[in-house]
Structure 1
Amino acid sequence: MTSGHSVHRDLAFALKESAKRTGEQAPSVRGADWRLATVTAVNGDGTVTADGITVRRMEAYANPAVGDVIRIDQSSSGNFLAMGRLATTAGTAWTAYTPTWTASTTNPTLGNGTLIGRYQRVGRTITVHINLTVGASTSVGSGDYSFALPVQAAAVGCSFIGNAHMLGASRWGGQVVISSNATTCAPFLSVSTTNPRLDWMTAAVPEAFGSGDQLRMTATYEAGS
C-alpha cells in the first residue's frame, strides 16, 4: 500500500508540474504579459523582429533600429505588439547637417561665415533649425534666399510655417515657409521699419545683410518619406 500511495503521489505531482509548465507557456492560461527584447531586424511592413519574434510596431514606436531594447506586449490570445524602445539617459540627439544657401539671382558664398543646420526626426515629423552668421569674406549674393531642408517635405498641398529672426543693425521677426513637396525653405521678414508686411528675404530686405549679422530659423514640417 505504501508503494502504491507513493506512486500515486508521484504521478499527481508530475501531472501538477506539467500543468504548471503548460500554463506558464500558454497566454490563454496565464493572461496578458509583457517582456523586454532586442531588435535584430527592421522589416518593411511595420514590424520588427526581436529575439526571434516578428512583432508589429505601435505608431508611436518611430524610427526603429537594430539593437533597440523594446517592450513587447502579448495578449491573452497570443498576439504581440512592440510598444516602443526604452528611453536612454540622454535621449535621442539631434542630427547635424549643412544646409545649402542659395539665392534666385546670384548664389551667396559663405567664406568665413558659419552656417549650422540641425534637425530631429520623429516618424515623419521633422523639426529643423538653421543658424547663419555672415563673415567678413561672405558674399551675400542677390535675389530671394532659400536654404536646403534635411528631408524633402511631404506633397500634401499645404505649406508649413515656422519662425525666422534676423539680427542685424535691428532685430527683425518673421516667418520661414516650407511649401508642399519642397526641398528648401525660405525666410520672410518685414519689408522695412515703416512697412511691416512680410517679403522674401534678400541681401537688402529687410536691411543690408553684412558681416556679423545672423539669420535664425526654426520650423516643424511633415517629411515626404
Structure 2
Amino acid sequence: MTSTDQQLLGAIRRRTVQAAADEPSVRGGDWRQATVASVTGNGTVVTTDGTEARRLETYTNPAAGDLIRVDSNALGDRTTPGRVAGSVVDPPWAAYTPAWTAATTNPTVGNASRAGRYQLIGRTCHVAIRLVPGSSTAFGSGAYLFGIPFPVAEDIVEYVGSARLTAGSTYIGQCFASPTATAVNVTFPASATPATAANMTQVAPATFANGHVLRLNLTYQTA
C-alpha cells in the first residue's frame, strides 16, 4: 500500500468516525456542556453552537451565558436539567410598575413617581417599591394597597416586610402579604403605648403629600 493509499484510508476512517459521532442513531445517548446564547418563550434554550434543548423543571431562571449540561438521546431529543455547579449567577433585578389602590377610592397617580424592582430566584421573590407623590396626584381614600410582581403562594404563612415613610418626620412600619395576595398593605404605629399599628391611608400616619417618599421591601414565596 502506497503512502497515498494510507493517507486516503486514514482520511476515510476519520470521516467515518466523525459521521458516526454526528448521527444520534449511531452514537446513542450522551451529554455535554454548553453555553446558553438565548432563552425562548416555549421552555427551551438555544446554545452558542445552535443547539436547542428543552428545560427540565429543575432549571429555573435561565439566562444567556449560563453554562449548562445538555443531554441527548438516540433520537436526537435534547434536554437540560440546568446549570452546572460553580456557574450559577443570581438573576438580575428587573423593573416593574407597582399598582397603587385604596379600599374606598383609588388614588389617581398623576405625575407621581412609582418605581418597583424585583429579583426572582426560583420561587423566592425579593421586591422593593418606591413611591413619591406629585403635584397632580389625587390620594383617594381608605387603606392603601401596593401591587407586587407575582402572586403569593397559597400557604399557611404570611410574609412581613419593612416600610419607611418620609413625610416631614420619618415613620417606620411594615408591609404585609397574605396567601394568594397580589398586593401588600402597609401599617405604621398608631400609638406608642400600647404599641399598636394602623393601615396607611392618605392621613395616617401623616398626611401623604407631594414630595413625600414611601419605601417598601418584602421577600416572599411566589405561587
Same fold (TM over 0.5): yes
2:69/2:83 contact within 8 Å kept: no
Q: For residue 41 of structure 1, report the CA deviation from its aligned partner.
A: 4.5
1:113/1:137 contact within 8 Å kept: yes
User: Percent of pairs identical after alignment?
Assistant: 28
C-alpha distance in 2 between matches for 1:48 and 1:101: 36
Gapped runs of 5+ residues in structure 1? none
Residue 67 of structure 2: which of 68, 71, 74 is its match?
71
Q: For residue 165 of structure 1, report the CA deviation from its aligned partner.
A: 0.7
Q: 1:37 to 1:208 in 2, by over 3 A?
A: closer
Q: Which has the larger radius of gyration?
A: 1
Q: Secondary structure at the match of 1:54?
A: strand
Q: For residue 216 of structure 1, report the CA deviation from its aligned partner.
A: 0.8
2:58/2:81 contact within 8 Å kept: no
Quote the residue 2:201 is aligned against. Answer: 202
Say which is worse superposed, 49-58 or 141-150, in terms of deviation: 49-58
C-alpha distance in 1 between matches for 2:66 and 2:28: 20
Aligned positions of 1:172-187 closer than 5 A: 172-187=171-186
Quote the residue 1:95 is aligned against. Answer: 95
1:143/1:202 contact within 8 Å kept: yes
2:36/2:46 contact within 8 Å kept: no
Q: Over residues 41-97 of structure 1, what are the superposed CA-to-partner deviations in whole Å (9 max), with x where a residue is unaligned?
A: 4545xx545434535447354145xxx34433367x998635349889xx7352232
Q: 1:22 to 1:105 in 2, by over 3 A?
A: closer
C-alpha distance in 2 between matches for 1:134 and 1:195: 31
Gapped runs of 5+ residues in structure 2? none
Q: Secondary structure at the match of 2:205?
A: coil
Q: 1:7 to 1:96 in 2, by over 3 A?
A: closer
1:43/1:49 contact within 8 Å kept: no
Quote the residue 2:140 is aligned against. Answer: 141
* Aligned residue pair count: 211
1:105/1:142 contact within 8 Å kept: yes
C-alpha distance in 2 between matches for 1:113 and 1:74: 48
Return the letter of the residue paired with 1:214. Answer: V
Quote the residue 2:216 is aligned against. Answer: 217
C-alpha distance in 1 between matches for 2:7 and 2:112: 84
- 1:120 has 2:119 as partner: yes
Q: Secondary structure at the match of 2:181?
A: coil
Aligned positions of 1:5-16 closer than 5 A: none
Q: 1:38 to 1:209 in 2, by over 3 A?
A: closer
C-alpha distance in 2 between matches for 1:114 and 1:74: 44
Aligned positions of 1:18-167 closer than 5 A: 33-36=32-35, 38-39=37-38, 41=40, 43-44=42-43, 48=45, 50=47, 51-57=50-56, 59=58, 61-63=60-62, 68-73=64-69, 81-84=80-83, 92-97=92-97, 99-167=98-166
TM-score in terms of structure 2 length: 0.69
TM-score in terms of structure 1 length: 0.69
Q: Over residues 74-122 of structure 1, what are the superposed CA-to-partner deviations in whole Å (9 max), with x where a residue is unaligned?
A: 67x998635349889xx7352232x222222232233443222222333
